[in-house]
Chains A and B, each alone.
Chain A
Amino acid sequence: MDRDNRVCVMGEDVGHYGGSYKVTRGLADKFGDLRVLDTPIAENAFTGMGIGAAMTGLRPIVEGMNMGFLLLAFNQISNNCGMLHYTSGGQFTIPIVIRGPGGVGRQLGAEHSQRLESYFQSIPGIQMVACSTPYNAKGLMKAAIRSENPVILFEHVLLYNLKERIPDEEYICNLEEAEMVRPGEHITILTYSRMRYHVMQAAKTLVNKGYDPEVIDIRSLKPFDLHTIGNSVKKTHRVLIVEECMRTGGIGASLTAAINENFIDYLDAPIVCLSSQDVPTPYAGTLEEFTIVQPAQIVTAVEQLCQ
């Protein structure tokens, strides 16, 4: 916001309150009430407003208090945000960033545990990225703001408290690149967002058992970084996808199809995809734990794949 005074933020409680997860804390004091705009509760309206502002030359960042609420803005995101650059013949661009916390948290209930990346992945015209560390959160956010395309940035409710030493200076992460978390030889594990941490935990166990997993945080959910992924598949010949999306129609499903289409000759075994179950996330903590993929499952899956 310092660098470019066209950048503005809009969403519920983003101003003085600093946002429901304090992402925008201090911004209203520094940049004023207009540039950090508190909106009434109508997701379709403030997303639409962001789209209109973007078409007129601003670079808005729209915050969904919880990603799940952006389902109310689906019409604006799909029919307008994704389409207007195309249908106007390139006359109008929509350099908007739509972001917010999503994913399964700790007992937030079904409606607040949505994984919108699976619903949005088909929309032509948008890009989707998921951050997972403080480093890539800063880099991806900056890249998203600078992009001329509409970008949806998926943050995770449980990752806001992570602490990491990151450079003070400006840097961006490429929106279309995956991140090599741990190079390895035996198996390619593809993951993103919070599941990265479950995978790394499982990796510790696996290393102790003598396996050498290659862990890639795909980061770019649309489009997939098939270059990095492909190189890994060509090396290890085995793929395990670990995601938080539900089994049906999730990012993992699309990724499985993409890898099969492009790299079938390099696979020694069918791709295994570990996802959440096709149920609304229960409120009870124990049940909630059962619905998402746990490190133990990841270890078992790797062992089976590598037999």
Chain B
Amino acid sequence: MAIWVTTARKSGATMAARCLTRRNMVNGGGSCSAFPKSHHSLNALAGKKEKENSSSLLGFWRFKSTKASAAAAVDQLYSSDEDVTNNHQGLDFPGGHVSYTRSLNFISNSSTQNRVPCYRVLDDNGVLIPAAGGGSNSGDFQFHHHQQPLISQQTALKMYREMVRLQVMDTIFYEAQRQGRLSFYLTSTGEEAISVAAAAALTPDDVVMPQYREPGVLLWRGFTLREFADQCFGNKDDYGKGRQMPIHYGSNKLNYFTVSSPLATQIPQAAGVAYALKMEKKDACVVTFFGDGSSSEGDFHAGLNFAAVTESPVVFVCRNNGWAISTNVSEQFRSDGIVVKGQAYGIDSIRVDGNDALAVYNSIRAAREIAVKQGKPVLVEFLTYRVGHHSTSDDSTKYRPVDEIEYWKVTRNPVNRFRKWVEGNGWWNEGEESELRSATRKQLLQAIQAAERTEKPVLEEMFNDVYDETPSNLREQHVQLRETIKRHPGDYPSDVPV
């Protein structure tokens, strides 16, 4: 009895809850007999008593009856299975009201059974899937009216074109790395639909914070092939001024924040950007991308939690492509993917077929609307497959079967699938396809040649932008380095202008 009394300073609700301990029941803790009928009054009493000191509280409860007859109230305290939802028999705890249950059941792990279903619009042959119950597509408005592919021919064609250009760009740059012309590259093969279609569903004011496998967003927003090449070659036209490794693109005019190598660091930053947008009352949201592996990082959990608590307009997009370098998802987490994690943080979440361009487009449109209009975060999990190697430093055939890769490359190819739908509508044909591919290839080769020939940034750029103005110690270091290079030119690269 004394146990709960000593902690009587806590909320009256807690005290009432503690009343239910078996010990008190067995002793017929008299005060608790009042509980089922009028637990509100008990709380009110306790609440009032809260402000007085604990000794008077002690006094209040101590002299209540301890007769066994009071224990008859026990049955009324435990609801039967049928009236679990009877709020009258719920409990108040910090965090709100909960109903309680007599049965000891653990919520079971849903990673193998009862998995969250995945939204898709086109089947594997690029044909619109009919609505549930047959009939036309306009029928199933289960979640949101944006489920209907309300996409114009113009948008669809632009999406398709950029997906093709992304494919060609990846192929050529990858080959360039293999030929020794680029030091590093990372493809989006198999995930073209995600970055392009998601970008298509956003406005230019929406801020994008990428991981590194989303150059499709830049392509959609107008980054030129030459600009991509400049960054990869680190020449003086690179917006990053040659300081970062290839594929670490960034463009503040296109609202695409510079790629930073450590995983998941952009997730809490996205909550911050959304906070800024909210403070400035802008009609825009933040969209941040990350992979299945990044969902294990601490920053992921903290970032989602923060966005939920601060009610920020962020759309969290997870590209669950099954692999984090050589780590398969079964070794990454035991949950049902990432969609259930959003739920855990109180965030509306959806799982989508990431290889279905229309599904990607629709879901991001809908997610953006929720984020902007309701001012709260949303999580979208795209299921997809990483067809390419993690990067040019990886050979994925070492840890996964070649025929698995082939299957996804050919049979489940997102670009081919969308092509079938676009051609099925009469908007595209083989002639335009080969023309686009060869034109893009040509432009890329030209861009690479031009970027390769362009001068590197001057040595001084190595010391600029560390701070807003270059401090004296860095100016000194620059001068010293320049002098060392002048004395021993043979020991230093000749293509960096001193």
Binding site for B on A (CB under 8 A): 8, 34-35, 37, 39-40, 42, 44-58, 60, 75-76, 79-80, 83-93, 124-125, 127, 147-149, 176, 223
Contacts and interface: CB of A to CB of B under 8 A. Distances in A.
Q: Which 3 A-B pairs have the closest CB atoms?
A: A52-B272, A45-B302, A52-B269
Interface stretch (B170-178, B258-266, B439-447): B258-266
Contacts of A51: 269, 272
A57 B277 CA distance: 9
Contacts of A42: 268, 298, 301-302, 305-306
B276 A75 contact: no
Contacts of B465: 85-86, 89-90
B275 interface: yes
B209 A52 contact: yes
Contacts of A90: 241, 464-465
A39 B260 CA distance: 24
A28 B258 CA distance: 33
A169 B170 CA distance: 59
Interface string B243-268: 11000101110000110111001111
Given A37-B310, A40-B302, A52-B273, A89 B265 contact: no
B271 A49 contact: yes
A56 B277 contact: yes
A88 B305 contact: no
Interface stretch (B46-54, B405-413, B466-474): B466-474
Contacts, number: 158
Contact of B250 (A49, A75, A92, A176): A92
B260 A76 contact: no
Nearest to A93: B468
A194 B244 CA distance: 40
Nearest to A224: B473
Given A49-B269, A52-B271, A35 B473 contact: no
Contact of A48 (B248, B299, B310): B299
B468 A52 contact: no
Interface of B: 207, 209, 238-241, 243-244, 248, 250-252, 257-258, 260-262, 265-280, 298-299, 301-303, 305-306, 309-310, 464-468, 471-473
A79 B268 CA distance: 14
Most buried by B among A90, A148, A176: A90
5 contacts: A35-B279, A52-B275, A89-B250, A90-B241, A91-B239
Nearest to B310: A37
B258 A87 contact: yes
Nearest to A78: B262
A44 B303 CA distance: 9
B239 A223 contact: no
Given A46-B268, A49-B269, A52-B268, A89 B260 contact: no
B445 to A, nearest CB: 25
A114 to B, nearest CB: 20
A54 to B, nearest CB: 8
B467 A149 contact: yes
A84 B279 contact: no
B215 to A, nearest CB: 16
B248 A87 contact: yes
A120 B482 CA distance: 28
Contact of A45 (B239, B241, B305): B305
A49 B269 CA distance: 4
Given A58-B279, A80-B260, 16 more contacts: A37-B275, A39-B309, A40-B309, A42-B302, A46-B306, A49-B269, A51-B272, A52-B266, A52-B268, A52-B273, A87-B258, A88-B258, A89-B241, A89-B243, A91-B239, A125-B467
Contacts of A91: 239-240, 250-252, 258
A3 B67 CA distance: 67
Given A79-B265, A90-B241, A125-B467, A8 B279 contact: yes
A193 B465 CA distance: 29
A165 B248 CA distance: 51
Nearest to B472: A223
B303 A45 contact: yes
A37 B279 CA distance: 12
A143 B466 CA distance: 19
B269 A48 contact: yes
Given A37-B310, A89-B238, A56 B265 contact: no
B471 A223 contact: yes
Contacts of A127: 467
B240 A88 contact: yes
A85 B274 CA distance: 20
Nearest to A127: B467
